[in-house]
Structures are given as C-alpha cells and as structure tokens.
Amino acid sequence: MPYTVFKIEKKANYAIVTFDRPDKFNAANATVFSELAAAIRELDADKEVGCIILTGQTFIHPKKGTKFPVFSAGADVEQFSTVGKTEDGFSFIKTCFEPFKAIELCETPVIAAVNGAAFGFGFEISGCCDMVFASKSAKFALKEINHGAIPAWCITRGLEKYGKNVVAYLCLSAKELEPEEARRLGIVVDVFEDDELLPKCEELAERIAANSYMAKTFIKTTLNRHAVADYQDAERFMPTIFATQFMQGAFARFLQGDTKNVK
C-alpha cells in the first residue's frame, strides 16, 4: 500500500521504516497510527524480510534553521479534542494501540534506532520494539503527567522491560533523559555516534534476519506473551483519563495557544 507519513525501504533481508511527517516533527495522529500498523504487518507477512528497523530522520527546524534530529516528538495534540467522552476515548485508545500491537505481536524482530527526540508516543513506540539503540542526539521523555495524562504503554508493558522503580521515575518526573542515562536505566541497549546509529542497526538487522525463522518467532512470541492482556487493561482505564477535566482543560489551553502550563 502507499504510505504518506512513512518511508519504507527493503534491503537484502531486512527493511527500514522511517517516520516522515516533517511538518509535525513526526508527531503521531490517526494516519501515523494506521500506516505504521499497516507497514509492520505488511513487512511481517513478507518472508524475505527477516528483521525491521524503525527510525526517524533529521529535519531543518522551520524557525531556527538548524538541523533537528527527531524520532517522534510525541502525539499530535489536535486529535485529543475529540476524546472528551468516555465512548470516544475507548475507540481512540484502540486506534492508538494498533501500531504497538502490530510491533509486539508480529513474528519479525523490530529494532528501534532512535536518532533524536523520542517524547511521549515516540518514547513508547520505541520501547515496544524488541530492542532499542540511540544516537548521541537522542532524548527520551514521558511528559504526559504534565497535562493530566498517563503513559499507558509504559505503566503496563513497560513494567516488563524497565521494572517498577524506573517506570515510576519516568512517569512521575517527566524528565528528559540524555541517551547515556537512558542506557543506564535499561531503556536503550547501546548509544552510538549520530552517523553510526543506522549502520550499526543495519548490521545487526542483517545478522538477525539471517537466523532461523522458527527460532526468532518462538523467542519473540515468548517474550511478548503477556502483551494482549496488558493492552486490554490500558484500553479499559485510558478512556476515563481522557475524559477528566484536568486533561481536557490542558489540551483546550494548548489548542488555544496557551502552552505555558502544558509541556
């Protein structure tokens, strides 16, 4: 299928999926959710693809004119204006989780190559990949609590990866992490120079892709065996969070241009 906010590149035995929404710094909206899920499922069904890399790219900042490396700057705030009712929030969160489920439930290993800002959605979609590597320009943050929201993936699926202490620190502090701190906390496997990140990940992807399909499948499905139940839990409580006055008020102020108290 044609993709409007992603670039898909197939190599000898692996593929690279690159965020490509420069006008919004790869922020996620319904199109991003649906296209990423579709791309992962399409590549997973391709028996010539033995591994997938998910990455961002470097844009030119429209105001500063400087290079701005970005994986995904988070969720597109404009979409939250429609989730004030619990029923709408239930449908919305299921849409949000489609790419997460696609990545965790597919049989093909997925590597996140985080080249820049990975905030909110960007942080969590990288986390649901099977392994994460970062460039020295990468930054990680979960800032949902600042506007009354919850990083739903991190407090459910993230517990298996990071443990309670780290999840509490990430979700309650909303701190921006430098890549070396992210490595120390177990969020990333390793950190590379900016120009080395993708080549290193491609080298690993090629190596993984050459291995037994059956062995990879059993390893991945065993590691992610609790995914369905965890996503169902998040789908039950997130609509209530979306409907709170605190969160709706924060997003209303953001949409009206008052960003001082919404970070």
The residue count for the chain: 263
Alpha carbons 37 and 95: distance in angstroms, whole number: 10
Phi first, then psi, for residue 242 (nearest 5°) are: -60, -35
pLDDT reported for residue 87? 62
CATH of the domain at 145: 3.90.226.10
Query: Is beta strand 52-55 parallel, antiparallel or unpaired with respect to 139-141?
Result: unpaired
Q: How much is the pLDDT for 86?
A: 59
pTM across the whole model? 0.91
Has residue 35 been placed in a domain? yes
CB under 8 A, 24+ apart: contacts of 141-144: 141/174, 141/175, 141/176, 141/177, 142/170, 142/171, 142/174, 143/74, 143/119, 143/174, 143/263, 144/120, 144/171, 144/174
Per-residue pLDDT of the chain (263 residues; tens, 9 = 90+): 789 999 999 999 999 999 999 989 999 999 999 999 999 999 999 999 999 999 999 887 777 778 889 999 998 877 665 665 556 667 788 889 999 999 999 999 999 999 999 999 999 999 999 999 999 999 999 999 988 888 999 999 999 999 999 999 999 999 999 999 999 999 999 999 999 999 999 999 999 999 999 999 999 999 999 999 999 998 888 877 777 777 777 666 766 765 444 34
Q: Is residue 261 part of a domain?
A: no
Report if residue 262 sits inside a domain: no
The pLDDT value given to residue 263: 42
Query: Could you tell me if 137 and 116 are in contact, meaning their C-beta atoms sit under 8 angstroms apart?
Result: yes
DSSP string of 174-211, one letter each residue: -PPBPHHHHHHTTS-SEEE-HHHHHHHHHHHHHHHHTS
How far apart, in whole angstroms, are the C-alpha atoms of residue 179 and residue 46? 33
> Which of these, 102, 110, 116, lies nearest to 131 by C-alpha position?
110
pLDDT at 262: 39
d(CA 193, CA 20) in angstroms, rounded, equals 22
- Per-residue model confidence (pLDDT) at position 255: 60
Which neighbouring-strand residues pair with 18? 7, 55
Domain-located, residue 200: no
Angle between the N-to-C axes of helices 245-255 and 227-242, in degrees from 0 to 180, rounded to the nearest 10: 70
Q: Does some domain include residue 172?
A: yes
Domain ranges, residue 215 = 6-195+209-255
Which residue stretches of 11-156 are H helix?
30-44, 86-105, 121-127, 152-156
203 within some domain:
no
What domain count does the chain have? 1
9: left (phi over 0), alpha (psi -120 to 50) or beta: beta
CB burial of 167-186 (b: ≥16 within 10 Å; e: otherwise) equals beebbeebeebebeebbebe
The pLDDT value given to residue 67: 83
Q: How far apart are CA 254 and CA 171, in angstroms?
A: 21
Count of CA atoms in the C-beta half-sphere (13 A) of 159: 10
Q: Is residue 202 one of the residues assigned to a domain?
A: no
